[in-house]
Structure 1
Amino acid sequence: MKTLNILSGGAAQGLVRSLAPAFEAETGLGIAGDFGAVGAMADRLRAGVPTDIVILTAALIAKLADEGLVLRSSITDIGRVETALAVRAGDPLVSAKDAISLRAVLLAADAIFLPDTKASTAGIHVAKVLAELGIADLVADRLKVFPNGATAMRHLAESPDRRPIGCTQSTEIISTRGVVLSGALPPGCELATMYTAAVATQASAASQAQRLIALLTSPLTSEQRSRAGFVAGLTS
C-alpha cells in the first residue's frame, strides 16, 4: 500500500491513529512515519527525511515555514494539549491544586517518568517546573527519562516502583494502556500547547496531506479530538 509520510509530535499520535481508517478509505493511502519529541522530528525534516505532512507545536511550525521547509499557506491549528500527571491504572489518583501540592506530589513519588527534557515540549517544561519548585536536585535520581512521552508512559505502566507517577502531554497519557490521566498541572505550573499541521515543501503527496489536515481539523471530528485530549479555547 502507498503511504502518506508523517513527522509528528507524540501528542498527535492517538488522534492520527484514530482517523487513519477514514483517511485510508477515502484516499487509499496508509499513514507511515515517526511520532516523537518535536525537536527531534523537526531535525528529521531538516535532514531531508521524505515527508508529506508535519504536526508539531505552532511555534516550531512557524519556524520551519521561515526556513522554507513547510508551506505557510497550509498551516492549520489542530488544538491545544495540556501537560498533565499520570499514574498506573489501579493506583490512587494524584492531584495538585497549586504549586505547593504539586511539589508534595512529586516528592512523594519514588519514580517520575518523563519524555526527553531537552527535545520534547512536556519534558522541557517539567524540567523547568522542577527547578522552579526547588526540587530538581532532590528528585534527580528518581527521574526516568525516555525519548518521548508515549514511551515514558509505556514504561510507567510496567513500572515495579511502589509510587511512580508520570508527567507528559495528556494525549500521550490517554492513548497508552495501563496508565490513567490523573489531572492537569496546577495554575502557575501549567502548560497548554497549540499543535499545528502543515504540508512539507517537498511533499510527494501534497493534496492527500492537505486532505489529512482537513480531516484532523474538521468540525465533524471534534469528538475524536476531544477524546484524544485536544482542548479548544485554552490560552497559553
Structure 2
Amino acid sequence: MSSLNILSGGAAHGLVASLTPAFKALTGFEIAGEFGAVGVMAEKLRKGTPADLLISTAALLAGLAQEKLVVSASIADVGLVETALAVRAGDPQATVRDAAGLREVLLAADAVFVPDTQSSTAGIHIAKVLEQLGIAEQVAGRLKIFPNGATAMRELAASKAHRPIGCTQSTEIISAEGVDLSGSLPAGCELATMYTAAITTAAAHPRQAQHLIDLLTGAGQSEQRARAGFVGH
C-alpha cells in the first residue's frame, strides 16, 4: 500500500494518529514519517529526506517557504499549542499561578523532564524561562533532556524520582500514557505556538498531502483538534 511521507513536530503526533483512519479511508494511503523536534525535522527536509508534507511552527515553515522547500500557497494553520507542565499519573498536580509559583515548583522538583533545549519549540522556551527565573544553574543538574517531548514524557512516566515534573507542549502531554497535564505556564512565562502544515516542493504525492491538510485544518475536525490539545484555529 502507498504511504504519505510526513515530517512533523512532535506536537502534532496525537492529532495525526487520530486522523489516520479517516485519511486512509479517503485516499487508500497509509501515513509514514517522523515526529520530533521541529528544528531536527526542518534539517531533515533540507538534507533531502523524502517528505510529502511538513507540519511545523509557523515561523519555521515561513522560512522553509523562502528556501523553496515547501509550497507557500499550501501553508495552512492547524492551531495553537501551549507549552505546559506535566506530572506523573497519580502525583499531586503542580498548581502554578504566577512566575514565583513556577520558580518554586521547579526548584522543588528533583528531576525536570524536557525536550531538546536546542532544537525543540518547548525545550528552547524552557531554557529561556529558567534563565528568566534566575534558576538555570540551580536546576541544570536535575534537567533530564530528551530528543523530543514524547520521549521526555515517557521517561517522566517511568521515573523513580521522588518529585519529578515535566515541561513540554500540551499536545505531547495529552497523548502520552502515564503522565497528566498539570496546567499551562503562568503569565510572563507562557508560550502558545501556531503550528502549520504545508506540501513540500519535492512531494511525490501532493494531492494526498492536500487531503491530509484538509483533514488537519477542517471545521469537521475541530473537536479532534481540541481533544489533542490544539487551541483555536
TM-score scaled by length of structure 2: 0.99
Quote the residue 1:41 is aligned against. Answer: 41
- How many residues align structurally? 233
Are 1:7 and 2:7 an aligned pair?
yes
Distance of 1:81 and 1:95 partners within structure 2: 19
Quote the residue 1:142 is aligned against. Answer: 142
Moved more, 171-180 or 224-233: 224-233
Distance of 1:114 and 1:167 partners within structure 2: 5
Quote the residue 1:63 is aligned against. Answer: 63
Q: Which amino acid aligns with 1:34?
A: E
Are 1:157 and 2:121 an aligned pair?
no
Gaps spanning 5+ residues in structure 2: where? none
What do the CA deviations read for 1:103-143 (whole angstroms, capped 9, x no partner)?
00000000000000000000000000000100000010000
Q: CA deviation at 1:95?
A: 1.7
Show the 5 A alignment for 1:80-119: 80-119=80-119
What do the CA deviations read for 1:162-189 (whole angstroms, capped 9, x no partner)?
1000000000000000000000000000
Q: Which amino acid aligns with 1:95?
A: T
Distance of 1:214 and 1:117 partners within structure 2: 32
Q: CA deviation at 1:52?
A: 0.2
Distance of 2:176 and 2:159 partners within structure 1: 14
Three-state SS of the structure 2 residue aligned to 1:167 is strand
Quote the residue 1:173 is aligned against. Answer: 173
Three-state SS of the structure 2 residue aligned to 1:12 is helix
Distance of 1:155 and 1:34 partners within structure 2: 19
Three-state SS of the structure 1 residue aligned to 2:188 is coil
Distance of 1:95 and 1:21 partners within structure 2: 37
Distance of 2:188 and 2:96 partners within structure 1: 11
Q: Which amino acid aligns with 1:214?
A: D
What do the CA deviations read for 1:32-59 (whole angstroms, capped 9, x no partner)?
0000000000000000000000000000
What do the CA deviations read for 1:8-41 (whole angstroms, capped 9, x no partner)?
0000000000000100011000000000000000
Distance of 1:154 and 1:43 partners within structure 2: 25
Q: CA deviation at 1:203?
A: 0.1
Three-state SS of the structure 1 residue aligned to 2:48 is coil
Three-state SS of the structure 2 residue aligned to 1:134 is coil
Percent sequence identity over aligned pairs: 68
Distance of 1:54 and 1:119 partners within structure 2: 16
Q: CA deviation at 1:210?
A: 0.4
Quote the residue 1:230 is aligned against. Answer: 230
Quote the residue 1:131 is aligned against. Answer: 131
Q: Which amino acid aligns with 1:213?
A: I
TM-score scaled by length of structure 1: 0.98
Q: CA deviation at 1:202?
A: 0.4
Three-state SS of the structure 1 residue aligned to 2:17 is helix
Quote the residue 1:184 is aligned against. Answer: 184
Quote the residue 2:26 is aligned against. Answer: 26
Q: Which amino acid aligns with 1:70?
A: V
**After the TM superposition, which parts of structure 1 deviate over 3 Å for at least 4 consecutive aligned residues?**
none
Are 1:199 and 2:199 an aligned pair?
yes
Gaps spanning 5+ residues in structure 1: where? none
Distance of 2:48 and 2:16 partners within structure 1: 22
Q: CA deviation at 1:216?
A: 0.5
Q: CA deviation at 1:3?
A: 0.4
